[in-house]
Amino acid sequence: MMISSAIVPLLITSLMIIPAPADYGDDCTASGCHDDFQKKAVVHDPASSDGCDVCHTPLPGTDHEFKFAEEGAELCVQCHDAFEGKVRHDPVEEGECTVCHDPHASANRFLLTQPSVGDLCLDCHDGLRDDLSYVHGPVAGGACTACHDAHASTHRALLLKTGTEQCYSCHTEMKEAMASRKHVHAAVEDDCSGCHQPHGGKNPTFVKSSPPALCLDCHSDLEEALAEAAVPHKPVSTGAACGNCHNAHATKYEHLLLADPAELCFPCHEKAVKDEGSNLPDMRSFLANHPQHHGPVGDNACGDCHAVHGNSNFRFLVEPYPSRFYAPFKEEDYALCFSCHDSEMVTEESTDSATGFRNGNQNLHFIHVNRKVKGRTCRACHEPHASSQPSHMRESVPFGSWRIPVGFRQTTNGGFCASGCHKPYRYDRLTVVENIPRTSPVETANP
Ligand code: HEC
Ligand code: HEC
Ligand code: HEC
Ligand code: HEC
Ligand code: HEC
Ligand code: HEC
Ligand code: HEC
Ligand code: HEC
Ligand code: HEC
Ligand code: HEC
Ligand code: HEC
Ligand code: HEC
Ligand code: HEC
């Protein structure tokens, strides 16, 4: 910090020699010699009541020579507080009361040597407002003593209060808002200065940096995760970044989310997202037009399947899931689905219980999915989000530029598929439908 030399400390010396005027009486002010003090707006009580000798003691044997009654701050401490405290302001520590106060009188409140508190402080701390593109209201207004004690304090940096109380003393509307919000950011409860600079700064609202950097400063786990994420989610690092989904202070939703989880994703995903290789459907209309919502989608828990900050799985799914229509079967590649559904539905070749997709005991999930090459992935038949069919069956499957109709219909104990993949087939769990050669038409397969 720069201490300017504009105020040259007037050290109170032990001896003052004031040449005696030719003609003076006993009374310093009534004589007319020192009545100028009393003409100022603020007159120090002992100087106004002619208590000059409280501070100036005539030197014995001299005509008009004086010494101070006490040295340095002791002169003042005769009547005032010594401003003891864990943290003492440097000029107070040095006993330089008169750098800031005129001992006799002043045009300014508190007998200040400068027109205002701000002018006084900035005279020594003159670099303080330099380089601040955005200056905090009270700092711009020179109200330094709204936060600092000019003399001493029990808190660091001479602060009047600590933590949030310092800020809430003026930001009462925010204090009330925080008290009424259900979820308050631990960082806000802790100390506003985790994010804001008290005097001002280069950013609007003088946050130390903008999100995401501001947030990742503390959320270092997430910082590492994002750095490693091969499939990032664009809004996490662009535009308002973290602020696209979170409020930095508090909200009524869990995880400081800006909106109810049922709405959070839709400001962006209610229109098709087409950019840099992304071509994503309008999810809001898709869900509205497909009334059977898959369990977690129905619970508005997109986060059960998507790691919304991004990760290294296809579509930043929380667990692996194949990205293509065909894939050689490996159980771990379907960890997403098998985190909620039992993998036996695909791994058991023959079963009377692991799946309803069976012809007698013949597991048709096994037949379709569990193959060394060209296993059909779940998307060949199911919609992960929502469908208009039972069992979250799709109406059609994108296959290159063609949409293959699935043509699924449920029957009492099985189902019927008239898909574009093969001839219509039927399965029945109780009465095995005779194996029909794959290539021949299925006349009997009328449900
Ligand atoms: C509270 C202590 C105090 C009182 C009371 C006081 N003085 Fe002073 N006076 C000082 C100090 C300290 C200085 C040294 C200059 C400085 O630091 O501002 C001073 C300096 C002076 C000076 C030197 C020149 C100047 O104006 O700075 C004169 C003259 C003077 N005082 C006269 C008086 C008279 C007359 C009275 C009574 C009406 C009086 N003082 C009351 C503390 C006091
Ligand atoms: C003889 C007692 C006495 C001494 C010594 C004394 N003061 Fe005071 N001071 C007072 C009284 C009385 C008041 C007015 C009542 C009050 O505000 O506390 C006062 C008020 C003040 C004020 C407040 C003025 C305002 O506008 O509110 C300041 C600042 C101050 N003194 C500074 C000093 C400094 C600096 C010294 C030493 C150079 C000093 N005083 C020495 C008695 C004294
Ligand atoms: C760095 C400047 C500075 C120094 C040094 C300083 N003061 Fe002050 N003082 C102030 C300011 C500014 C105020 C007005 C406080 C406010 O704005 O609330 C003040 C207020 C006062 C007051 C009146 C209000 C109160 O807090 O009681 C007194 C008395 C006082 N000072 C005495 C002293 C004495 C005695 C010393 C030396 C021990 C001293 N000051 C040193 C800046 C200073
Ligand atoms: C006469 C010069 C001078 C004036 C006037 C002055 N200061 Fe200081 N201030 C200093 C010095 C010297 C330091 C100690 C060196 C440093 O911290 O850079 C200091 C330190 C500080 C500190 C840091 C204290 C710490 O322990 O962290 C604060 C806060 C402060 N001043 C606020 C103020 C405020 C508010 C005012 C106006 C009421 C003010 N200063 C007026 C000289 C001054
Ligand atoms: C809104 C409250 C607030 C206001 C108003 C304020 N300060 Fe501060 N100031 C602080 C806080 C909080 C710190 C402590 C920063 C830290 O250490 O984290 C501080 C620190 C300081 C320091 C120590 C060095 C530094 O920069 O960290 C100085 C000097 C200082 N302030 C001077 C001033 C001056 C001069 C003014 C008026 C122009 C002023 N302050 C106004 C809150 C404030
Ligand atoms: C002395 C009163 C006062 C104190 C204490 C105070 N503020 Fe302020 N603050 C204001 C005023 C006045 C404004 C400007 C008016 C406005 O924008 O609300 C402001 C504005 C702000 C803004 C910017 C608002 C915007 O929309 O640009 C932030 C951020 C802020 N304060 C944070 C803090 C923090 C953090 C603290 C505690 C270190 C604090 N304030 C302490 C009075 C205060
Ligand atoms: C985790 C970081 C963080 C913490 C801690 C924090 N803020 Fe903020 N604050 C921000 C961000 C980021 C913004 C900008 C929000 C925006 O632009 O939408 C902001 C904006 C503000 C604003 C202006 C806009 C508004 O919402 O009114 C004020 C005032 C404010 N903060 C005060 C405070 C106070 C007071 C505290 C402590 C009680 C605090 N902040 C704690 C990050 C934080
Ligand atoms: C000064 C440190 C700090 C900064 C900066 C910070 N946070 Fe936090 N944040 C915390 C702490 C401490 C917690 C509570 C412990 C935890 O959950 O990690 C927390 C928790 C959270 C939570 C979880 C709340 C919950 O209930 O699950 C979210 C979300 C969050 N922060 C978002 C943000 C965002 C967004 C930003 C940037 C605007 C940010 N944080 C900046 C310290 C910080
Ligand atoms: C697209 C919306 C979105 C964006 C952008 C976003 N988050 Fe989140 N965040 C969420 C959701 C939703 C949750 C709730 C938990 C979940 O579903 O994973 C969450 C949870 C959190 C949590 C608490 C739980 C956890 O995972 O640790 C923290 C901390 C967090 N976010 C910080 C951040 C930070 C920091 C940023 C910016 C780098 C950010 N978020 C950006 C949506 C978002
Ligand atoms: C602020 C806008 C915004 C919000 C809010 C948002 N997204 Fe996104 N999302 C995008 C953009 C832009 C893309 C395309 C770029 C990309 O892939 O990151 C995208 C892509 C995606 C993708 C495809 C990723 C890929 O592989 O290309 C998924 C999945 C996704 N978002 C899920 C969600 C979920 C779940 C939520 C709610 C928790 C959500 N999004 C909230 C803007 C948003
Ligand atoms: C049950 C797990 C699951 C849930 C819950 C889920 N998704 Fe998905 N999501 C997926 C899977 C699997 C894919 C990949 C689909 C594919 O490529 O066949 C995907 C893909 C996406 C895509 C990329 C476009 C597409 O349709 O392939 C977006 C955008 C998306 N999800 C958004 C969301 C949103 C928003 C939510 C909450 C409403 C959500 N997801 C909930 C599993 C889920
Ligand atoms: C060839 C189409 C097809 C493929 C590929 C497919 N399924 Fe199915 N699945 C069905 C049909 C048809 C049903 C309805 C069975 C019934 O109840 O009649 C079904 C039912 C289900 C059920 C309900 C419980 C049960 O087993 O009856 C779950 C869960 C399920 N499938 C998950 C998956 C998963 C996970 C994948 C990928 C590993 C997948 N399916 C692949 C056609 C398919
Ligand atoms: C977070 C848990 C979760 C994940 C992950 C999950 N599901 Fe589901 N799934 C459910 C729940 C709960 C139900 C039952 C409610 C319903 O029918 O939607 C269900 C039902 C189903 C059904 C319909 C069952 C029936 O009998 O009608 C199918 C098909 C299905 N899931 C397929 C999948 C596929 C394919 C995946 C992987 C892409 C998957 N699920 C991942 C929770 C999950």
Report the DSSP beta bridge partners of residue 152. 88
Task: Per residue of the chain (447 residues), give pLDDT as tens.
Answer: 444 443 433 444 445 555 554 444 457 777 777 888 888 999 999 988 778 889 999 898 888 889 999 999 999 999 998 898 899 999 999 999 999 999 999 999 999 999 999 999 999 999 999 889 999 999 999 999 999 999 999 999 999 998 999 999 999 999 999 999 999 999 999 999 999 999 999 999 999 999 999 999 999 999 999 999 999 999 999 999 999 999 999 999 999 999 999 999 999 999 988 877 778 999 999 999 999 999 999 999 999 999 999 999 999 999 999 999 999 999 999 999 999 999 999 999 999 999 999 999 999 999 999 999 999 999 999 999 999 999 999 998 877 778 888 889 999 999 999 887 888 899 999 999 986 554 433 333 332
Match 């899931």 to its residue by tokens.
321
Ligand 5 contact, 146 CB (< 6 A) = yes
User: Ligand 5: which residue has its CA nearest to atom 28?
Assistant: 157
Domain ranges of the chain: 15-124, 225-317, 319-428
Pocket test for ligand 5, best of 199, 205, 207, 208 (most atoms within 8 A of CB): 199
Q: What pLDDT sits at residue 431? A: 94
Q: What pLDDT sits at residue 50? A: 76
* Predicted TM-score (pTM) of this structure: 0.91
The number of beta carbons lying within 10 Å of the beta carbon of residue 340 is: 12
What backbone torsions phi and psi does residue 190 show, to the nearest 5 degrees? Answer: -80, -65
Pocket test for ligand 13, best of 340, 358, 364, 429 (most atoms within 8 A of CB): 340
What backbone torsions phi and psi does residue 148 show, to the nearest 5 degrees? Answer: -110, 145
Q: What pLDDT sits at residue 443? A: 32
Q: What pLDDT sits at residue 435? A: 60
Q: How far, in Å, CA of 406 to CA of 389, rounded?
A: 11
Q: What pLDDT sits at residue 434? A: 86
Is omega for the bond preceding 212 within 30 degrees of 0, making it cis? yes
Closest ligand 9 atom, CA of 221?
Answer: 27
User: Ligand 9: which residue has its CA nearest to atom 31?
Assistant: 255
Nearest CA-CA partner of 257 in 223, 296, 191, 303: 303
The token pair at 271 is: 């229109």
Ligand 4 contact, 123 CB (< 6 A) = yes
Q: What pLDDT sits at residue 17? A: 56
User: Ligand 1: which residue has its CA nearest to atom 24?
Assistant: 18
